Protein backbone atom coordinates (compact mmCIF):
# COMPACT_ATOMS: atom_id res chain seq x y z
CA UNK A 1 0.00 0.00 0.00
CA UNK A 2 1.16 3.47 -0.70
CA UNK A 3 1.93 5.75 2.21
CA UNK A 4 -0.85 8.26 1.60
CA UNK A 5 -3.44 5.49 1.34
CA UNK A 6 -2.37 4.15 4.72
CA UNK A 7 -2.58 7.64 6.24
CA UNK A 8 -6.04 8.30 4.80
CA UNK A 9 -7.33 4.86 5.76
CA UNK A 10 -6.01 5.21 9.29
CA UNK A 11 -8.40 8.13 9.73
CA UNK A 12 -11.08 5.47 10.15
CA UNK A 13 -9.97 5.39 13.78
CA UNK A 14 -12.26 8.41 14.21
CA UNK A 15 -15.20 6.31 13.02
CA UNK A 16 -14.29 3.35 15.23
CA UNK A 17 -13.81 5.66 18.22
CA UNK A 18 -17.25 7.15 17.64
CA UNK A 19 -18.84 3.70 17.33
CA UNK A 20 -17.16 2.44 20.50
CA UNK A 21 -18.18 5.65 22.31
CA UNK A 22 -21.80 5.00 21.42
CA UNK A 23 -21.60 1.31 22.36
CA UNK A 24 -19.47 1.45 25.50
CA UNK A 25 -19.97 4.94 26.92
CA UNK A 26 -23.58 5.30 25.74
CA UNK A 27 -22.81 8.64 24.11
CA UNK A 28 -25.37 10.18 21.81
CA UNK A 29 -24.12 11.78 18.61
CA UNK A 30 -26.02 14.51 16.81
CA UNK A 31 -27.20 14.12 13.23
CA UNK A 32 -24.37 16.42 12.06
CA UNK A 33 -21.77 14.23 13.76
CA UNK A 34 -23.19 11.10 12.14
CA UNK A 35 -23.27 12.86 8.77
CA UNK A 36 -19.65 13.91 9.08
CA UNK A 37 -18.67 10.33 9.98
CA UNK A 38 -20.50 9.03 6.90
CA UNK A 39 -18.73 11.61 4.71
CA UNK A 40 -15.40 10.54 6.22
CA UNK A 41 -16.17 6.89 5.50
CA UNK A 42 -17.22 7.62 1.91
CA UNK A 43 -14.04 9.64 1.32
CA UNK A 44 -11.87 6.82 2.60
CA UNK A 45 -13.80 4.28 0.51
CA UNK A 46 -13.24 6.41 -2.61
CA UNK A 47 -9.49 6.49 -1.93
CA UNK A 48 -9.43 2.71 -1.50
CA UNK A 49 -11.47 1.97 -4.63
CA UNK A 50 -9.39 4.16 -6.98
CA UNK A 51 -7.35 2.06 -9.38
CA UNK A 52 -3.73 1.68 -8.34
CA UNK A 53 -0.88 2.06 -10.81
CA UNK A 54 1.35 -0.95 -10.69
CA UNK A 55 5.08 -0.66 -11.05
CA UNK A 56 5.01 -2.57 -14.35
CA UNK A 57 2.54 -0.16 -15.96
CA UNK A 58 4.68 2.94 -15.50
CA UNK A 59 7.03 4.01 -18.23
CA UNK A 60 9.76 5.36 -15.97
CA UNK A 61 9.98 2.65 -13.36
CA UNK A 62 11.77 4.08 -10.30
CA UNK A 63 11.15 1.01 -8.14
CA UNK A 64 14.08 -1.37 -8.00
CA UNK A 65 13.62 -4.89 -9.25
CA UNK A 66 14.40 -6.39 -5.82
CA UNK A 67 11.37 -4.89 -4.08
CA UNK A 68 8.79 -7.58 -3.23
CA UNK A 69 5.23 -7.14 -4.41
CA UNK A 70 2.91 -5.74 -1.75
CA UNK A 71 -0.22 -7.49 -0.53
CA UNK A 72 -2.81 -4.70 -0.51
CA UNK A 73 -5.51 -6.80 1.17
CA UNK A 74 -3.19 -7.70 4.03
CA UNK A 75 -2.10 -4.06 4.39
CA UNK A 76 -5.71 -2.88 4.47
CA UNK A 77 -6.58 -5.53 7.06
CA UNK A 78 -3.68 -4.42 9.26
CA UNK A 79 -4.66 -0.74 9.04
CA UNK A 80 -8.28 -1.60 9.86
CA UNK A 81 -7.16 -3.71 12.82
CA UNK A 82 -5.04 -0.80 14.05
CA UNK A 83 -8.04 1.52 13.71
CA UNK A 84 -10.29 -0.79 15.71
CA UNK A 85 -7.70 -1.31 18.44
CA UNK A 86 -6.91 2.40 18.65
CA UNK A 87 -10.59 3.33 18.86
CA UNK A 88 -11.31 0.71 21.50
CA UNK A 89 -8.24 1.64 23.56
CA UNK A 90 -9.08 5.33 23.63
CA UNK A 91 -12.73 4.72 24.60
CA UNK A 92 -11.80 2.13 27.22
CA UNK A 93 -9.20 4.49 28.69
CA UNK A 94 -11.81 7.25 28.83
CA UNK A 95 -14.19 4.86 30.60
CA UNK A 96 -11.50 3.95 33.12
CA UNK A 97 -10.78 7.59 33.84
CA UNK A 98 -14.35 8.84 34.07
CA UNK A 99 -16.33 5.91 35.41
CA UNK A 100 -14.16 4.27 38.06
CA UNK A 101 -13.52 5.20 41.67
CA UNK A 102 -9.68 5.47 41.86
CA UNK A 103 -8.16 8.81 40.98
CA UNK A 104 -6.06 9.56 37.92
CA UNK A 105 -2.93 9.57 40.08
CA UNK A 106 -3.57 6.04 41.30
CA UNK A 107 -4.26 4.89 37.73
CA UNK A 108 -0.97 6.47 36.60
CA UNK A 109 0.91 4.63 39.33
CA UNK A 110 -0.77 1.34 38.38
CA UNK A 111 0.03 1.78 34.70
CA UNK A 112 3.58 2.91 35.49
CA UNK A 113 4.30 -0.11 37.66
CA UNK A 114 2.95 -2.51 35.04
CA UNK A 115 4.94 -0.77 32.30
CA UNK A 116 8.08 -0.78 34.45
CA UNK A 117 7.77 -4.51 35.16
CA UNK A 118 7.24 -5.44 31.50
CA UNK A 119 10.02 -3.08 30.41
CA UNK A 120 12.41 -4.57 32.95
CA UNK A 121 11.53 -8.10 31.81
CA UNK A 122 12.16 -7.13 28.18
CA UNK A 123 15.44 -5.41 29.08
CA UNK A 124 16.69 -8.44 31.02
CA UNK A 125 15.61 -10.75 28.21
CA UNK A 126 17.44 -8.74 25.54
CA UNK A 127 20.51 -7.44 27.42
CA UNK A 128 20.51 -9.24 30.75
CA UNK A 129 24.21 -9.02 31.57
CA UNK A 130 24.53 -5.31 30.71
CA UNK A 131 21.35 -4.41 32.58
CA UNK A 132 22.36 -6.42 35.62
CA UNK A 133 25.78 -4.77 35.73
CA UNK A 134 24.43 -1.27 35.08
CA UNK A 135 21.51 -1.46 37.49
CA UNK A 136 23.38 -3.08 40.34
CA UNK A 137 26.59 -1.10 40.07
CA UNK A 138 25.25 2.40 39.48
CA UNK A 139 21.62 3.29 39.28
CA UNK A 140 20.07 1.23 42.04
CA UNK A 141 22.61 2.24 44.68
CA UNK A 142 22.56 5.82 43.44
CA UNK A 143 18.79 5.91 43.86
CA UNK A 144 19.12 4.43 47.32
CA UNK A 145 21.54 7.18 48.29
CA UNK A 146 19.11 9.81 47.02
CA UNK A 147 16.30 8.21 48.99
CA UNK A 148 18.13 8.60 52.30
CA UNK A 149 17.56 12.30 53.05
CA UNK A 150 18.04 11.84 56.78
CA UNK A 151 21.52 10.35 56.50
CA UNK A 152 24.51 12.47 57.39
CA UNK A 153 25.62 14.78 54.64
CA UNK A 154 29.24 13.62 54.39
CA UNK A 155 28.51 9.93 53.71
CA UNK A 156 25.86 10.97 51.20
CA UNK A 157 28.36 13.20 49.38
CA UNK A 158 30.90 10.38 49.31
CA UNK A 159 28.33 7.99 47.88
CA UNK A 160 27.35 10.49 45.20
CA UNK A 161 31.01 11.09 44.35
CA UNK A 162 31.69 7.33 44.22
CA UNK A 163 28.76 6.61 41.91
CA UNK A 164 29.51 9.61 39.71
CA UNK A 165 33.08 8.38 39.26
CA UNK A 166 31.79 4.88 38.57
CA UNK A 167 29.55 6.10 35.79
CA UNK A 168 32.37 8.13 34.22
CA UNK A 169 34.75 5.16 34.34
CA UNK A 170 32.21 2.92 32.58
CA UNK A 171 31.66 5.42 29.74
Domain boundaries, the chain: 1-51+72-102, 128-170
- What pLDDT score does 109 carry? 82
- What pLDDT score does 59 carry? 45
| pLDDT one-digit tens code per residue, 20-64 | 999 998 989 899 989 988 888 888 888 777 766 554 444 444 455
Angle at CA 108, nearest 5°, toward 103 and 110?
A: 95
- What pLDDT score does 145 carry? 56
Instruction: Work out the widest C-alpha separation in the chain, in whole angstroms.
Output: 78
Q: What is the CA radius of gyration of the chain?
A: 26
Amino acid sequence: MQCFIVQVTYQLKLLTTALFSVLILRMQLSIYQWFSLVVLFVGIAVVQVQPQKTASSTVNNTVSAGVPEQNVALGLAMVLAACVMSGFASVYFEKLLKHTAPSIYLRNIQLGVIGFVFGLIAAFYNDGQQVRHSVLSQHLLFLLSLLSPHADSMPRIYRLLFFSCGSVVQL
